[in-house]
Structure 1
Amino acid sequence: MTHLERLATIGLWLRRRAENIAALMLAVMFTAFIVQVVFRYLLNLPSGSASELTTIMWLWLVLWGAGFVLREREEIRFDFLISMVSPRIRRIMTIIACVALLFLYGYSLPAVWDFVTFMKIQETSYLDLRYDWVYSIYIFFVLAILVRYAWLLWQAIRGRDLDGSRSAGAEGEA
């Protein structure tokens, strides 16, 4: 097994574990939602903790999924615009978008870190979770996005499409 094949195998294993974690979060969110419905409508009792857990799991599920589970080709984008241009222009657009996103997320990371770590002074109303723990998923999300777009930028500079094939207009091609 070559080095690249081992890396691909490890990457696939990590992606599957990320999907497992997302499924677990969805199960927790769904269970908390059912508990909330049962307490509110069948037992006529308030259940703020179930509502709070549902909200936190939704936040974590969306950012975890976008950062670690969602593949590049599954993201929502303006395909009609990209499909109308040549592969060379598409590559240039990818490079510009990657540089812009790397700059914006990278520039915002210190402020995000300051905010998240500052929020340790507050806790949630029902579960008494510190808000720095609740919002920490955003730091993981930003780091995952930075790695993803650095990789995409590298691939675009090398003249590779998102699927890894050579694109027209790459250096050394006619």
Structure 2
Amino acid sequence: MTTPSRPIRTLRGLAEAVPAILLATMFLCFIIQVFMRYVMNSPVGWTVEICVIAWLWILLWGQSVSAEESDEIRFDIVYGSARPAVRRWFRVAFSVVLVGIYAWSLPALWDFVTFMKIQKTSYLDIRFNWVYSIALVFSVVSILRYAWIFWGALSGRDTGQSSIEDIGRKDFSE
């Protein structure tokens, strides 16, 4: 396995920083909300709004941009006990299904996100198409990711973890 170039490492670091920054923002908003509610006796709603938006972005950004396939949690009793050739075909079939589902739903998701420009959030007046735009990023990146997994499995150069035994042998010193 080759080491990625410096610009790639920098971009990956920036991509991984987004969920961390959003989580820190959520924590700060939570502290502000507790302080305002219980110390000042004057609750504010914008903190809850920021927390909900940040959580949505953490989940979808983190899964699509930051997380690698080896980070995903799986129940792989059947997959892990299968022969490598069978696992490869599982990956091909699974990738085809996921790319198909995401590609099929992409036009409807686009319509929904663009339609939501008519509404704004209650406190911060952020248009909902900006809030939900991360769903488009999630779908497009998921299509690209599973197309790459499909190509890797089809060409015989699997990516990611092969089985539960491989996880046990993985060097965690990096």
Q: Same fold (TM over 0.5)?
A: yes
1:77 CA drift (Å):
1.3
1:13 CA drift (Å):
2.5
Number of the residue aligned with 1:37: 34
Partner Cα distance (1:164, 1:85) in 2: 13
Number of the residue aligned with 2:25: 28
Deviates more, 1:11-20 or 1:52-61: 11-20
CA RMSD of aligned residues (A): 1.8
Could you list the structure 1 runs, at least 4 aligned residues long, displaced by more than 3 angstroms after superposition.
Answer: none
Partner Cα distance (1:110, 1:116) in 2: 10
Number of the residue aligned with 1:50: 47
Number of the residue aligned with 1:86: 83
Number of the residue aligned with 1:72: 69
- Identity fraction in percent: 46
1:163 CA drift (Å):
4.4
1:35 CA drift (Å):
0.8
1:29 CA drift (Å):
1.2
Equivalent residues in 2 for 1:82-161 (5 A)?
A: 82-161=79-158
1:159 CA drift (Å):
0.7
Contact 2:70 2:161 in 1 (8 A): no
- In structure 2, stretches of 5+ residues that fail to align are 163-174
Partner Cα distance (2:68, 2:78) in 1: 20
Partner of residue 13 from structure 2, selected from 11, 16, 24: 16
1:21 CA drift (Å):
1.6
Contact 1:155 1:164 in 2 (8 A): no
Amino acid at match of 1:137: I
Partner Cα distance (1:79, 1:164) in 2: 11
The count of corresponding residues between Structure 1 and Structure 2 is 161
Where 1:17 maps in the other structure, the secondary structure is: helix
Number of the residue aligned with 1:172: none
- In structure 1, stretches of 5+ residues that fail to align are 166-174
